[in-house]
Amino acid sequence: MVPPSDEKALRRALWVGRIALIWALVIAGRLVWLQVVRHEDYLAAARSQQRHRVPIPSLRGEILDREGYPLAISIRTRSAVVNPQRVVDPIFFSRLIAPVLGLEPKDLASRLFEYKNRGARRAAGRSYFVLKRHLTSEEKDRLAQLRRTFPIEIVEDARREYPGGLIGAHVVGSIDAEGNGNAGLEQRLNAELKGKAGQMIVLTGSRADHYISWVKEEARQGANLTLGIHRVIQYEAEAALKDGIREAHAAGGTVVALDPRNGEVLALANYPSFDPRREKPTPAEAQARHSNVAAQIPCEPGSVMKMITLTMGLDLGKVTPDTPVYCENGSFARPGRRAIHDVHGYGTLTAAQVLIKSSNIGMAKISLMCGPRNLYDYLKRFGIGEKTGIEIPAESRGVLRPLECAGRNDNWCWGPNSHEYIAFGHEVSATAIQLARAVSVIANGGLLVRPHMIIAKKQPLGDGRFVDIPVEVPQPVRTMRPETTFTVRQIMERVILEGTGKRAAIPGYSAGGKTGSAEIFENGAWLDLHNSSFIGFAPVTNPRVVVVVTLSRTSKQGGIAAAPVFGRVAGAALRVLKVPKDRPETDVETAKPPLETNELPENRIAKVEPVKPEPVQTMQAETEPEPPSAELLGPRVPDFRGKNMVAVLRESASLGLDVRVTGQGFARQQQPAPGTILPAGSTVRVEFSPRP
Amino acid sequence: MTSLAALFDWLAAGKAAQRARVGGSQAGSRLRALPKEEIHLYVKVVDNSRVVRIVDKRDWVQTIGATCTALTVTVLAIALLLPGGYNLLMSRRVEMLKAQREARINTLRELRSEEAALLNPAQLQIWGGDKFVTPTAASVIFAPPPGGAVASLKAQR
């Protein structure tokens, strides 16, 4: 028999056992709940708390010029950062740390206080304060001692350097504080240049002190880009542009140098420029940084457009270089239309002379011969009104209105007379890049190339080796016959030799080009300022460089202001590219450049005579142009008989007649007879004899 | 034969007598240094001249086997651990070399940047000033043509 005391103890033990069992079951149940049922949730929560993915910054790719010199290069550096929330006494911290890093203790302390206060309200994003970026090795060594006491961390960083300084600023662009491109190629090709950030996994304890980490994915450096830009040509272009702008008192300008054979951009300069090294630019620099005039801002090309009009006439066979075109002695008035004027009145000029003398009337007549459809077609063949595809952000397509109107109320299309004005650069706008491409068509024998700046891409593998990335550049497209372009090249050479572009001559090299001046219409009034331009190529027989110069808001014309810039840039390019000279140098040195050109700003026609309202009509109703009449092509030979030599020469010059005189005194006989319509390329022979 | 206690007593006697000389009357009340157990030491002479050495082949085999096993295990352990250890050492070395390479590549970048800055045309213009002038054709001195040349530009022998 069990004693009563033992029985009581046994009962108590049983109760304790039961309670323990229930407690154990509850614990077990809770464990099952936590570790089996909610396993995934808590695992994810634990991982998010303990496991951190730390990005490893990738190094930005290099931008090199065509010779391999870096225009932009990234260098690994270290930066000192601190968690302001862990700085107990910012003043004490600042007094010790600031001298080491060359900072001002008061500034550092005030910023730390600011971050701490912000952190109290918004702790999430304010636990990271950069003490100093890009530490020197001395600063790093001195900081190493202090890191035992203060919660300072040294993190990897990268510094973007632009060894060329201002050279190629608009091409290369710049980056912001986050390391993303904000202008130029840095912006356009940001993804390629930036590479791919790596990933490091860090397992941390509850106090966020990391105790184990490993690299999950290595950072991949961005691709290295080799540009067609040559730094010497680029420098010359920028220097020449700056000097040209200063001499012409222009507000800005742009220069584009292109290899016409493949469309590689050799130089692209804009003024005003900016310093890409400056992290905090001035407002003016910030504006310049985001306005790449060469590709983003179109302007009326003016007379340079005459190159396209003449090419059209020649390619279609409507004119030959010797076809006479009557230039109406400087004023071409038609009923119901705006009159077209030349600054100097010309009589009959050959088609070639129309370009050389830059006659608006002559060009309008050639355009009339060919018709609007052909002009529109040829503008497209030269790439006007279309983006070139150059690697510059926000490229403009220029302004080329559609040939046909969408409806009766559609005014954004060609009017019935638009082709007359577009023929000499009115009612159309183009960027400098577009013009350079258009000139390339003439320079390379009729091929439309795509201007591009990148000629090679290489992906660094991280071990010093590189993998080539193919650069896709569309093949040039033939848009016209080579013989036509060769003829135009010869005519454009005469523009420099005897026409409006004498100041563009390059010592030792033959060159061809065309001047242009478009008056600026602003706030409802014509200003006495021009967009002066010059387009050209050199050498003439086998052009290696095309240069387009545009100076904005200058009182001087293209032949005066822009032509010298062309000569300087093209000369430098030819020298750098080691192109053999094809002319004696003395040819240019002895020639006297003109003080003024005989160019008239093309759009002054609108100022001279107001536009009369014209009904908009579609081009579909227009018939093909009729063959040119005799009146359109040339004047009748005047009666020189009885006049002295001065009077004969003056009259013949005003009509653009080629006169050969023999003898002295007064005109006695002439051949052909007075009233004859002078055939193309003919000469009037006048015989003089003393008065009987 | 003597007891160990007697030996210690004898050894301690000198010190006690010295203390007695120094301390005087305290010596009589002191306890013995060691309890007075009687431990007797004996010397026994063993004669090994008639002992016969018998070789135990089984033990020998066991010893050799154990030795070989230990050796094999050691070799195997080394063979097993050596690649890993070597890997560890080499990995560390590779990582160090990688870091060195990175540092050198970075230095190379810095030097290239400096070189480009020094060869910057604007900088050269500052240094060179007006000395950078393209020579005119008349001022160019052409090198004499090599032997066997059939044509040359302004050749002067």
DSSP 8-state assignment for residue B40: B
Paired residues of A54 in beta bridges: A200
Q: Could A163 and B117 be called an inter-chain contact, meaning their C-beta atoms sit closer than 8 Å?
A: yes
Q: Is the pLDDT of residue A320 over 60?
A: yes
Query: Could you say which residues from 102 to 121 on chain B have a Cβ atom under 8 Å away from some Cβ of chain A?
Result: 102, 105-106, 109-110, 112-117, 119-121
Determine the residue of chain A that is closest to B101 in CA distance. A463
SS3 A127: coil
Determine the residue of chain A that is closest to B137 in CA distance. A585
Q: Quick check: A500 and A515 in contact, CB under 8 A?
A: yes
State how far the Cα of A60 lies from the Cα of A160, in Å rounded to an integer.
8
State how far the Cα of A361 lies from the Cα of A608, in Å rounded to an integer.
15
SS3 A411: coil
Q: Which two tokens stand for residue A341?
A: 């004027």
Q: Is the pLDDT of residue A559 over 70?
A: yes
Instruction: Look at residue A621 in the predicted model and tell me its pLDDT.
Output: 30
Across chain A, mean pLDDT equals: 85
State how far the Cα of A426 lies from the Cα of A330, in Å rounded to an integer.
18
More confident of the two residues B17 and A367: A367
Q: Could B109 and A163 be called an inter-chain contact, meaning their C-beta atoms sit closer than 8 Å?
A: no
Q: Could B106 and A75 be called an inter-chain contact, meaning their C-beta atoms sit closer than 8 Å?
A: yes
The count of other CB atoms within 10 Å of the CB of residue A572 is: 27
Among the residues of A382-431, which ranges form H helices? 418-422
Q: Could B122 and A73 be called an inter-chain contact, meaning their C-beta atoms sit closer than 8 Å?
A: no
SS3 A192: helix
- If pLDDT is split at 50, 70 and 90, which confidence band does A207 have? low
Q: What are phi and psi of A391, to 5 degrees?
A: -80, 55
> Closest partner residue to B113 among A75, A235, A584, by Cβ?
A75
State how far the Cα of A676 lies from the Cα of A324, in Å rounded to an integer.
14
Q: Which of A428-442, A581-595, A630-644 has the lowest mean pLDDT?
A: A581-595
Determine contact: A68 vs chain B, CB below 8 A: no
Q: Which two tokens stand for residue A135?
A: 């530490």
In terms of Cβ atoms closer than 10 Å to its own Cβ (0-12, 13-18, 19+), residue A668 is middle
Alpha carbon of A537: minimum distance to chain B alpha carbons (Å):
20
Element (H, E) at A571: helix A563-576
DSSP 8-state assignment for residue A580: P
Q: What are phi and psi of A77, to 5 degrees?
A: -135, 180
State how far the Cα of A274 lies from the Cα of A544, in Å rounded to an integer.
29
Determine contact: A235 vs chain B, CB below 8 A: yes
Query: Could you say which residues from 14 to 43 on chain B have a Cβ atom under 8 Å away from some Cβ of chain A?
Result: none
Element (H, E) at A660: strand A659-662
In which region does residue A182 sit, left (phi positive, over 0), alpha (psi from -120 to 50) or beta (all else)?
alpha
DSSP 8-state assignment for residue A601: -
Q: Is the pLDDT of residue A471 over 70?
A: yes
With both helix axes pointing from N to C terminus, report the angle between A360-370 and A372-381 in degrees, rounded to the nearest 10: 100
First to last CA, chain B: 127
Among A269, A266, A294, residue whose Cα is nearest residue A575: A266
> How far is CA A128 from each of CA A74, A118, A119, A155, A441, rounded to the nearest angstrom?
23, 12, 10, 12, 56
Geometric angle at alpha carbon A473, from A469 and A478, rounded to 5° = 160
Among the residues of B24-131, which ranges form H helices? 57-118, 121-128
Q: How far is CA A526 from the centre of its chain?
A: 27
Q: Could A69 and B136 be called an inter-chain contact, meaning their C-beta atoms sit closer than 8 Å?
A: no
What confidence tens digit (pLDDT) does each residue in A668-685 have? 888 887 877 776 567 788
Rounded to an integer, the average pLDDT of A223-235 is 95
Q: Which of A53-57, A101-105, A119-123, A661-665 has the lowest mean pLDDT?
A: A119-123
Instruction: Look at residue A321 in the predicted model and tell me its pLDDT.
Output: 94
Residues of chain B neighbouring A236 (CB-CB closer than 8 A): 121
Q: Which of A76-90, A618-632, B43-57 has the lowest mean pLDDT?
A: A618-632
The two beta strands, A224-227 and A63-64, are parallel
Rounded to an integer, the average pLDDT of A187-203 is 90
State how far the Cα of A383 lies from the Cα of A412, in Å rounded to an integer.
20
> Closest partner residue to B136 among A161, A164, A585, by Cβ?
A585
Residues of chain A neighbouring B134 (CB-CB closer than 8 A): 571, 575
Among A553, A543, A557, residue whose Cα is nearest residue A490: A543
State how far the Cα of B15 lies from the Cα of B33, in Å rounded to an integer.
11
DSSP 8-state assignment for residue B150: S
> How far is CA A299 from each of CA A211, A344, A403, A425, A602, rounded to the nearest angstrom?
63, 25, 20, 10, 13
State how far the Cα of A12 lies from the Cα of A609, in Å rounded to an integer.
121
Rounded to an integer, the average pLDDT of A465-482 is 92
pTM of structure: 0.73
Instruction: Look at residue B2 in the predicted model and tell me its pLDDT.
Output: 55
Radius of gyration in angstroms for the set of CA atoms belonging to chain A, rounded to a whole number: 38
Residues 6+ apart with CB under 8 A from A642: A666, A667
State how far the Cα of B81 lies from the Cα of B86, in Å rounded to an integer.
8
Residues of chain B with pLDDT under 70: 1-5, 8, 11-37, 132, 134, 137, 151-157
Q: Quick check: A544 and A525 in contact, CB under 8 A?
A: no
Q: Is the pLDDT of residue A545 over 80?
A: yes
Paired residues of A635 in beta bridges: none
Residues of chain B neighbouring A579 (CB-CB closer than 8 A): none
Determine the residue of chain B that is closest to A158 in CA distance. B106
What percentage of residues in chain A have a pLDDT greater than 70?
89
Residues 6+ apart with CB under 8 A from A114: none
Residues of chain A neighbouring B115 (CB-CB closer than 8 A): 69, 163
Q: How far is CA A136 from the centre of its chain?
A: 37
Element (H, E) at A160: strand A152-161
Q: Which two tokens stand for residue B132?
A: 């950078």
Q: Is the dihedral of CA A672, A675, A676, A677 positive or negative?
A: positive
Residues of chain B neighbouring A239 (CB-CB closer than 8 A): 125
Q: Which two tokens stand for residue A344?
A: 């100097």
SS3 A336: coil
- Per residue in A117-129, is it b (16+ CB within 10 Å) or e — as a string? eebeeeeeebbeb
More confident of the two residues A201 and A459: A459
Q: Is the pLDDT of residue A318 over 50?
A: yes
Instruction: Look at residue A626 in the predicted model and tell me its pLDDT.
Output: 42
Q: Is the pLDDT of residue A609 over 50?
A: no
Q: Could A164 and B120 be called an inter-chain contact, meaning their C-beta atoms sit closer than 8 Å?
A: yes
Determine contact: B152 vs chain A, CB below 8 A: no
Selected for mutation to probe chain A from B102, B120, B124, B152 (highest A CB count within 10 Å) is: B120
Q: Which of A245-249, A606-610, B51-55 has the lowest mean pLDDT?
A: A606-610
